[in-house]
């Protein structure tokens, strides 16, 4: 059989393998949507039948109308920009500091002795408990809100980076010493690549904690952002807008985590995919 004939013969088989693969890729997000869609349908049905009080829990249709109202007024777009900026700045500062401290403590016993106890203490303090003292220290402006997010994001990133480095197989480090690699080459060629999966998990965890801290931070006399919309809705007893705002926080969490998971897959493509 000639090369051309074998190629032509193999083409249908290749297409047959690719087709199920594409179907599997489409089936996964659809399956993930089944339960949320069913919950929304039950929610709407319960509201339509009067089982649930509209004031206590507005129907999905009412929440959708609230979204339309906020979007048409431009309030939602402005609030999203401000809230995302707060969370991003807090995560960048807190996560960056946690990463640097975690790497330093993982690589150096001296750094661990200096930083670990303090950061372990900070980890055990609920970030909600920091709100009163942060208001005293930083006032009720933007600084206190960002500082709260920084305080919440630093510990998860520190712990993930520290344990990712300390969890590296000692045999790999011994291999580096056998080849007489300098400390800098060991860090670049062995330690950071092996610790990268744990560090990226820490980024996802810190991002989730930063969004939780954002919710608390925006209750500190917020004059803009999603928290400001929620506070106004509470004053005017607009339960539909309150539910809409809560769902915006949830959507932000899902969206940010999906983005970070995508980055993780691209950065760790060498690991392959799990079944």
Q: At what angle do helices 192-217 and 239-267 cross, to 10 degrees?
A: 170
- Residue 65's contacts (CB-CB under 8 Å, 6 or more residues apart) are 240
**Angle at the Cα of 207 (from 203 to 210), degrees rounded to 5?**
135
Tell me the torsion sign for CA atoms 228, 229, 233, 239. negative
Q: Phi, psi (5° rounding) for residue 56?
A: -70, -45
| Tally of domains in the chain | 1
How far from 234 is each of 78, 160, 182, 240, 245, CA to CA, in Å? Answer: 19, 38, 61, 10, 11
Q: What is the DSSP code (8-state) at residue 187? A: I
pLDDT of residue 192: 84
Give domain status of residue 15, yes or no: no
Task: Please choose, from the candidates 254, 228, 221, 205, the residue with its C-alpha nearest in 3D space to the C-alpha of residue 141.
Answer: 221
| Structural domain harbouring 238 | 63-271
The residue-averaged pLDDT of 152-179 equals 85
pLDDT of residue 117: 84
pLDDT of residue 99: 92
Give domain status of residue 52, yes or no: no
- CATH number of the domain where residue 113 is located: 1.10.3720.10
Give domain status of residue 14, yes or no: no
The residue-averaged pLDDT of 107-111 equals 85
Give domain status of residue 33, yes or no: no
Given a cut of 70, whether residue 26 has pLDDT beyond it is: no
Given a cut of 60, whether residue 11 has pLDDT beyond it is: no
pLDDT of residue 89: 93
Give domain status of residue 95, yes or no: yes
Spacing of C-alpha 24 from chain mean position: 25
Give domain status of residue 235, yes or no: yes
pLDDT of residue 25: 59
pLDDT of residue 139: 83
Give domain status of residue 133, yes or no: yes
Under the banding of pLDDT at 50, 70 and 90, the label for residue 23 is low
Question: What tens digit of pLDDT does each residue of 79-96 get?
Answer: 899 889 989 999 999 999
**To the nearest whole percent, how much of the chain has pLDDT over 70?**
87
Give domain status of residue 219, yes or no: yes
């Amino acid at each position: 059989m000639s090369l051309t004939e074998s190629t032509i013969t193999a083409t249908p088989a290749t297409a047959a393998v690719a087709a199920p693969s594409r179907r599997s890729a489409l089936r996964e997000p659809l399956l993930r949507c089944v339960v949320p869609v069913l919950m929304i349908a039950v929610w709407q049905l319960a509201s339509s039948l009067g089982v649930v009080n509209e004031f206590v829990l507005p129907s999905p249709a009412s929440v959708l109308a609230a979204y339309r109202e906020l979007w048409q007024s431009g309030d939602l777009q402005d609030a999203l920009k401000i809230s995302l900026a707060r969370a991003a700045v807090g995560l960048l500062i807190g996560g960056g500091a946690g990463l640097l401290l975690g790497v330093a403590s993982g690589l150096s016993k001296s750094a661990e002795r200096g930083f670990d106890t303090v950061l372990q203490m900070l980890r055990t303090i609920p970030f909600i408990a920091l709100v009163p003292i942060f208001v005293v220290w930083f006032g009720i402006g933007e600084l206190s809100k960002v500082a709260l997010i920084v305080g919440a994001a630093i510990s998860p990133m520190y712990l993930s980076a520290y344990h990712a480095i300390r969890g590296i197989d000692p045999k790999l480090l011994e291999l580096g010493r056998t080849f007489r690699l300098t400390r800098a080459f060991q860090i670049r060629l062995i330690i950071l690549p092996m610790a990268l999966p744990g560090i990226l998990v820490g980024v996802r965890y810190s991002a989730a904690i930063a969004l939780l801290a954002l919710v608390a931070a925006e209750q500190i006399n917020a004059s803009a952002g999603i928290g400001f919309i929620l506070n106004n809705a509470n004053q005017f007893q607009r339960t539909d807008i309150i539910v809409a705002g809560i769902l915006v926080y949830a959507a932000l969490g899902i969206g940010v985590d999906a983005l970070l998971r995508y980055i993780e897959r691209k950065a760790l493509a060498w690991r392959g995919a799990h079944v």
